[in-house]
Every structure is written in structure tokens, then in C-alpha cells.
Amino acid sequence: MPIIKGAPVAEAISADTLKRAETLKADGIEPCLAIIRVGEDGSQLAYERGAVKRMDKCGIKCRICALDENISQADFVNEFKKINDDESVHGILLLQPLPKTLSIEPLKDIINPLKDVDAISPMNMYKILANDKTGHAPCTAEGVIEILDWMGMDLKGKKCKVIGRSMIVGKPLGLLLLSKDATVTYCHSKTRELAKETRDADVLIAAAGSAKLVGADFVNENMTVIDVGVNVDENGKLCGDVDFEAVEPLVANITPVPGGTGAVTTSVLAKHVVKAAELLRK
């Protein structure tokens, strides 16, 4: 059944973002993303490399703020404030998770919501709730909507079931689907009879972080399955939350892992930086 890859969706978003970045540059504004990383975590470094590459493709400058993993909370907050106040920075991405000695909580209130391109601030969460398009949604959650839009899917009245209710993916994604007039169900670790719950969905989005959780008994032949999960299977291979081999022949559309939603996330990030630069200019 059709396999929906992330690359063409990412390319379409990036092409539009590059045009907007060029318009800003013609007005003397160079859109800039600051990436804040504490320590040298391998998966954060990999994500950072992908983000830098994508920003470059989209005509966006990237500034890496690498902080020592032993930095104190007070110094961390001070460094964050400096970046937040820097007028040449339009977007801020804080790589997570932070070391256990640091708390993200004070930063949620400090960050300028316009620069909050991955939506950690309460203001951006509120704007998702209120369907206010001047805010930013978390990039991964918005990336799922981009894929569905790219497919030309009209979500009005569709049964959309989201497995996962985190602040960064599941919860905001459900709200974004709701704003598209979908009928949304959140499933999570306490949901009873998960497979039975998801089986009648038109669109199933798996964002649980549980390798191959979604099996043949979770799906139907008309279903579109979007796999957000990034896990490592028993053989050390990257895999999603969906048992791709078992599910792919049984559904109408499915995104693979790798090569699915992950590719779209950094393009949405770039789009948000340009949007931030446009909003900050006004």
C-alpha cells in the first residue's frame, strides 16, 4: 500500500521557506536559529547536525550554543536570557532532555513566545488550544499535519486516534487535528484494549515511543497510519511504534521509520524560524 515518505513533504516546505528567507534578507534581516545544547549527547548531536543542514538549505543562519554539562542552573538561565535578548536571534531551539541537574521550567516563562519555535512556552500551548495561528506548535506535531495536508487529506469529521499524550507530540497533535475538524481520541498507557480502540480509526498516529506497539490487530484497510516513534528494535535497528512489516500490507497509507515523520520535523523548524523573523519585524 502507498508508503508516504517524509522527504518530498520536507522539500516542499523547505522550498517555500527558502523563498520567505530570501525576502527577509532583501529587507536586511538574516533569519537566525540559536540551538542550545547542554553536554554532548549523541542523539542530540545527530539531531543538531540534521537541523543545521536543513537551516542551511532554507537560507537560515544557525548559531550553536554548546554549554558544559556541569553548568549551574543560575548560569544556564543567564546564558538563555542572553540568547533570548539577542535581537539577531529569531528562533531558539533547546535540545532535550537536559541533564538531571537542570530544570527547563523557568525558561518556559522567560522565552519570548515569538522566538519559541518548538513551543515550550505556555503562551504557545494556549495559542494551539485557541487555534491562534500567530503561535508556534511543536515541530513534530505540526509535521504530522503537514504530511496529512500534503496527502490532500480532508480531516473534517475523520476519526483520528493519537497514541501518546506528551506535551511535545501527542497532546498538541490532538489539538491541531481538532482544529481541522477531526473527531479526536487520545489513547495512552492507561487505555484499555488499545487495539480495539484504534481499529476503527480513519487516521492512526503512533507517538508512544514503544517499538512495534501497533500490530495487525490495530488497523483496517482504509486507514492512514502515521508513525512518529523512534525506537531501536531487538536487533539494534531503528524502528517506529508500528510493526511496519505486519501493518503495511493491511492499510491504505503508512509512513516508514526511518524516512517518514522525522524528515519533516526540521523543515517545520525552519518554517517557524522564518515565521518568527517575519513576526519580530512587525
139 contacts 126 by C-beta, under 8 angstroms: no
Q: How far is the CB of 14 from ligand NAD (least distance, A)?
A: 15
- Out of 125, 265, 269, 276, point to the residue binding ligand NAD (CB under 6 A): 265
Q: At closest approach, how far in Å is the CB of 233 from ligand NAD?
A: 12
Minimum CB–partner distance for residue 113 and ligand NAD (Å): 21
Query: Does residue 267 bind ligand NAD (CB under 6 A)?
Result: no
CB-nearer residue toward ligand NAD: 121 or 261: 261
Please give the Cα distance from 42 to 46 (Å, whole number). 6
209 contacts ligand NAD (rule: CB under 6 A): yes
Q: Find the binder of ligand NAD among 188, 196, 237, 281 (CB under 6 A).
A: 188
Q: Which is nearer to ligand NAD, 46 or 110 (CB)?
A: 46
Total number of residues binding ligand NAD (CB under 6 A)?
25
208 binds ligand NAD (CB under 6 A): yes
**Position 166 contacts ligand NAD (CB under 6 A):** yes
**229 part of the interface to ligand NAD, by CB under 6 A:** yes
**What cell does 173 get?**
497533535
Residue 128 engages ligand NAD in binding (rule: CB under 6 A): no
> For residue 224, what are the CA distances in angstroms to 134, 221, 255?
29, 9, 9
Nearest distance, CB of residue 70 and ligand NAD, angstroms: 25
Of these, 230, 251, 270, 276, which contacts ligand NAD (CB under 6 A)?
Answer: 230
| C-alpha cell belonging to residue 255 | 509512513
Binding ligand NAD (rule: CB under 6 A), the pick from 92, 98, 123, 163 is 163
Residue span binding ligand NAD (CB under 6 A) among the ranges 33-41, 65-73, 83-91, 183-191: 183-191
Q: Exposed, middle or buried, 184 (CB in 10 Å: 0-12/13-18/19+)?
A: buried
Q: Which stretch binds ligand NAD (CB under 6 A): 28-36, 120-128, 228-236, 245-253?
A: 228-236
Residue 169 lies near ligand NAD (rule: CB under 6 A)? yes
**Which residues sit at the interface with ligand NAD, rule CB under 6 A?**
140, 163-166, 168-170, 187-189, 191, 194, 207-210, 213, 228-231, 261-262, 265
